[in-house]
Amino acid sequence: MRIGVLTGGGDCPGLNAVIRAVVRKGIEVHGWEIVGFRNGWQGPVEGLSKPIGLADVEDILTRGGTILGSSRTNPYKIEGGVDQIRKVLADQGVDALIAIGGEDTLGVAKRLTDDGIGVVGVPKTIDNDLGATDYTFGFDTAVHIATEAIDRLRTTAESHHRALVVEVMGRHAGWIALHSGLAGGANVILVPEREFSVEKVVEWVERRFERQYAPIIVVAEGAVPEGGAEVLHSGEKDAFGHVRLGGVGTWLAEEIAERTGKESRAVILGHTQRGGIPTAYDRVLATRFGLHAVDAVAEGDFGVMVALKGTDIVRVKLSEATAELKTVPLERYAEAEVFFG
């Protein structure tokens, strides 16, 4: 039996740990051949693949990124893309695919399953916004990186008596902002799930300055001011219809400086949240996901995604996993407000 594996969408700490688990269990337990498709869905569309053996995954557990490469290729936006995938899989003797990715990658996996191609999904996103799983791997690492950055920025903010706005990733969900903000002791946390009042932010900032402390504001890239709109880095859309966000932190820092007369700076963490070695938690979770994905393939249980429920790894339908994004419940956000200001 030959099994294909691919990583799609944004890169994420822990991807290589999944690949390693799939290869080791697939070969050592089931005697399969493992084929790695390069650059997400571009691989099976264009036939970009290579065999992966035990030696290829020996030292990749701690490596960030993905040894297979990634892309935001959408085969359903390519004329004849799905038929080409069928041809490539047949020509290379690949019996099933394990697709590691977020909402877009697994959305394609769901449609391919509906079209008769056997796919098992593994949830990956630093945003932790994929439905039907409590956590996705990569999230813990991103929060750790953002929290460390907040800790470092606090000392320079206090030294210069300035407000610092830290922009983190989070297009539609504020999980990274909320968790890193709470862990880093931020004075203001702004998430996409709730429009924010600039006046209220300024009030919190001034209150902090009155206490002779420097304010730290954490804002998700998709956060929106009341009556405003998302701040776009670029209006260009990718193959899944997403525009590139970024810059709300800079905009907010300028507003704070203008309204308070206090010095204010913005720091955009950007892709530093995706890079580097995964935390121990993400390595373990990614490994468990990979092992259970192999079990699903061995049982011929396609059209499913492995998911974390409590401490257990279970299987859920890809249709359930991709039905809607998992956003921060507003009641949880409200509970955290006691720490603001």
Which residues does the annotation place in the binding site for Mg(2+)? 103
By CB atoms closer than 10 A (0-12, 13-18, 19+), residue 252 is: buried
- Nearest Cα residue to 101 out of 179, 33, 29, 43: 43
List all residues 6 or more positions away from 199 whose beta carbon is below 8 Å from its beta carbon. Answer: none
Answer yes or no: are the C-beta atoms of 106 and 305 closer than 8 Å: yes
What is the C-alpha separation between 169 and 262, in angstroms, rounded? 26
- Choose the catalytic residue: 11, 59, 95, 127: 127
What is the C-alpha separation between 130 and 136, in angstroms, rounded? 7
Question: Which residues are part of a known binding site?
Answer: 10, 103, 125-127, 162, 169-171, 221, 265, 271-274
- Please work out, in degrees rounded to the nearest 5, the angle formed at the alpha carbon of residue 114 by the alpha carbons of 6 and 96: 35
User: Is 127 a known active-site residue?
Assistant: yes
Answer yes or no: are the C-beta atoms of 7 and 68 closer than 8 Å: yes
Answer yes or no: are the C-beta atoms of 141 and 278 closer than 8 Å: yes
Rounded to the nearest 5°, which phi and psi values hold at 190? -120, 125
By CB atoms closer than 10 A (0-12, 13-18, 19+), residue 102 is: buried
Please report the DSSP string for 150-210 in residue order.
HHHHHHHHHHHT-EEEEEE--SS--HHHHHHHHHTT-SEEE-TTS-B-HHHHHHHHHHHHH
Tell me the pairing of strands 163-168 and 264-268.
parallel
What is the C-alpha separation between 48 and 38, in angstroms, rounded? 6
Which two tokens mark 127? 């945003």
**Which of the residues are catalytic?**
127
